[in-house]
Every structure is written in structure tokens, then in C-alpha cells.
Amino acid sequence: MGLKFGLTLTVLLLLGLDDNSFTTQMDAEAQTMSIKIGIAKWMENSDYNENISGFKDSLKEYGFMEGVNVEYVERNPKGDETIQREIIQEFIAMDVDLIYSLTTTGTLIAKDLTEDIPIVFSIVTFPVESGIVDSFESSGNNLVGTSNFVSVEKQLDLIYDISKAQKIGFLHRQGESNSKIQFELMMEYAELKGISVVEIKPSNLDEVENSINQVISEIDVLYNACDTLVQSGAEEIAISVGLENNKPTFSCNKAGINSGALAGNVVDYKKIGELAGLKAVVILNGGNPSNILSEKQKDDNIFVNIESQKILEIEIPKHIKNISNLRFAS
């Protein structure tokens, strides 16, 4: 692919690199070159749209202009693994310069199909545990990206501070390794705090409402995991059932707070998209994905839904109201 665009030292340091192998000069060829990037979205979701927007923003900032020297080929498999495989195979046949893949499931498929095309991923909660990369420091392969992980400690502390819940219903997709790890981590931390967790694990959207209703009377709050079932419609069902039963719902998805979940310590999907875009910039300048740091959000990003707070008549503690990066949705 070759060296095309220069990067500032700040960006290189952010990505864990030095500037020895990079130049700060943009040549004439760079301004007329044609880069093709395949984007595999996984499903329609407002958070995913923000993520892709952030990814493109970073590329644009460093001279990769859509319609000028970059062509984005965007595809949406709508959560279907078979279609995702077809999309990645299409990207390979098109000889794209880079693949941008969202979610754990979607990225595992991309990884399985190509070892030659650089893959930048995002919205992957556990990239190491899921086998996508060897470590955050070095992937050991053609992948690098950003995680949407927010620690269960932060999630559970927020839930307890607001609701004083003693029994939490944990909603996630049955069989999804990513959310199974989230559940196990939540169980471990909840046990230390003397809080019990009830697993709610439907395998598809048709099972969600019934699965929640089976336990809703015995739990204090609902918690929606960061997984593909929750992000593809289960969140809204959980929120509705929760409000009907005067039980607050907490979420790790900003879209969930906007849809009526009471609160959550959530990922800024646009920011992790921007971070992923910076990694793509380095790769398109000749960087090796294995030498670039994968990253996750470092700061708290707490959202509270004002309307749900009023409906549930729950007071937000003063120390949470005073958090500098507290945001409100309504």
C-alpha cells in the first residue's frame, strides 16, 4: 500500500507508535490516490451510525476525503452471519484496502475470511477473550480496533447508588460469548457486594418479553448487557416491561438511555469510532495493525433519562448529579 499521508507526533503517540517510519509530507500522489474501504455495519442502530460517522471523521481530518480519494463501500448484514460472510467475501473480491467491521460476531467472521486485508474493528467488548486479538498491545495478526467495554464494577456501582437494588435481572443473548463474559463478571462483583443476579437469557427477540416476565416480580431492576440481541430490539422490550412493572432498567448502551432506560455508564460510540479511524489512518500510511494499540474508552460517560426518572419517581443521588460528565436524555 505504501506511505501516503503524514501523521502528527500526537496521533502516533496516541496509537503507541513513534514517528521514525512516518513522514510529515503529503505528496501529490496521495492527493489523487483512490482508497477503497469496506464497512460491515452488522445492523441498523443509532449507536452504530454514530460510530461509523466518527470513523470517517478521523479519516477526513487526516486527508482521506470521501468522494475525492476514498470510496466507502457500506454493507449491512442485518445481524445475519451468512450475509456477513457474503459481504466480507465481496470486500475481498473487490480488493478493498481496509475493512471496518462492527461487533464481535461480525469481526470474527471477517477475521476467519482474510489474513491479508487489514481489519479495523469497533464495538467489540472483549477482543482478547473472544480471540480477535492476542492482546491490546499487539494483535499478532491483521486486526486492530476499539472496544466498547465499560467495567461491570462501574455499571453495578451506578445501579446500586441510584436504586439500592439487591436483586438484578441481567438480560443478554443465550450463547453469545461476549455477553456471557459480562454476566460472569457481574456475578463475581455482585457477590462481593452481597447483591444477587438473575440471568435472563433469551436466544432471540421472540423470547425476550416472556423471559423477562418470568422473573420481573422477583427482581428490583433490569440490566441490559452490551450484546447484539439487546442492540437489535431487546432493549426496547426490556424498558417497556420494566416501566409497566415500575422497575427501572439500566443499560450500557446510550441508545438504551435515549429509549427510556433510567441510567447507564455508557460508551461514547462516536469517540471509539474516531479512535478506530485513527488506527485506519496509520494503516493506510503503511502501518502494521499488529504494531498498533487496540483501545477502550477511559472516561466515565454517565447518562440519565429524565422522563423515566419522573415516571419511576427515583431520586438521583447528589454525588452523581455532581459528576462533571453527567449527561441527560429525555
Question: For the chain, which domains are there?
Answer: 9-148+268-296 (3.40.50.2300), 152-266+300-329 (3.40.50.2300)
Residue 6, pLDDT score: 45
Q: List the grid coordinates of 223.
A: 440490566
Does pTM surpass 0.75?
A: yes
Q: Which of 197, 327, 182, 330 is closest to 265 using CA atoms?
A: 327
Cα separation, 234 vs 173, whole angstroms: 9
Maximum CA pair distance of the chain? 67
Residue 7, pLDDT score: 52
End-to-end Cα, the chain, rounded Å? 47
Residue 259, pLDDT score: 93
Residue 64, pLDDT score: 96
How many CB atoms lie under 10 A from the CB of residue 322?
8
Residues of the chain under the 70 pLDDT cut: 1-33, 324-325, 330
Cα separation, 303 vs 256, whole angstroms: 10
The values of phi and psi at residue 196, to 5°, are -95, 150
User: What sign has the CA pseudo-torsion 62, 46, 43, 144?
Assistant: positive
Residue 322, pLDDT score: 78
The answer for residues whose C-beta is within 8 angstroms of residue 133's C-beta and 6 or more apart is 127, 139, 140, 141, 143, 144, 145, 294
Strand segments (E) across the chain = 35-40, 70-75, 98-102, 119-122, 143-147, 167-171, 196-200, 221-224, 249-251, 263-265, 295-296, 302-305, 327-329
Q: List the grid coordinates of 79.
A: 445481524
